[in-house]
């Protein structure tokens, strides 16, 4: 897999999307942008790190960003 190709200034580290702040009634999505380097280095660019809906954790990245 190749890293994202674009100007660094136009890239993002992480993006979070929420439908609200109520953990029981809203949705939350966390997406990794550029990926990581250094100690936490592995190919996770554009990966979904967390998806929670209506209080149910459907997906969480292996290293548990919570």
Residue 33 has pLDDT above 90, yes or no: no
Global pTM reads 0.69
Q: Which of 50, 49, 45, 53 is nearest to 27 (CA)?
A: 53
pLDDT tens digit string along 11-25? 788 899 999 999 899
* Residue 10 contacts residue 25 (beta carbons within 8 Å): no
Reading the block at residue 16, the tokens are 């979070």
Residue 41 has pLDDT above 90, yes or no: no
């Amino acid at each position: 897999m190749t890293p994202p190709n674009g100007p660094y200034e136009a890239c993002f580290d992480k993006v979070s999307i929420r439908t609200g702040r109520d953990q029981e009634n809203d949705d939350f999505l966390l997406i990794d942008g550029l990926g990581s380097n250094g100690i936490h280095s592995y190919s996770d660019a554009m990966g979904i790190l967390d998806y929670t809906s209506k209080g149910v954790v459907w997906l969480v990245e292996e290293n548990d960003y919570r």
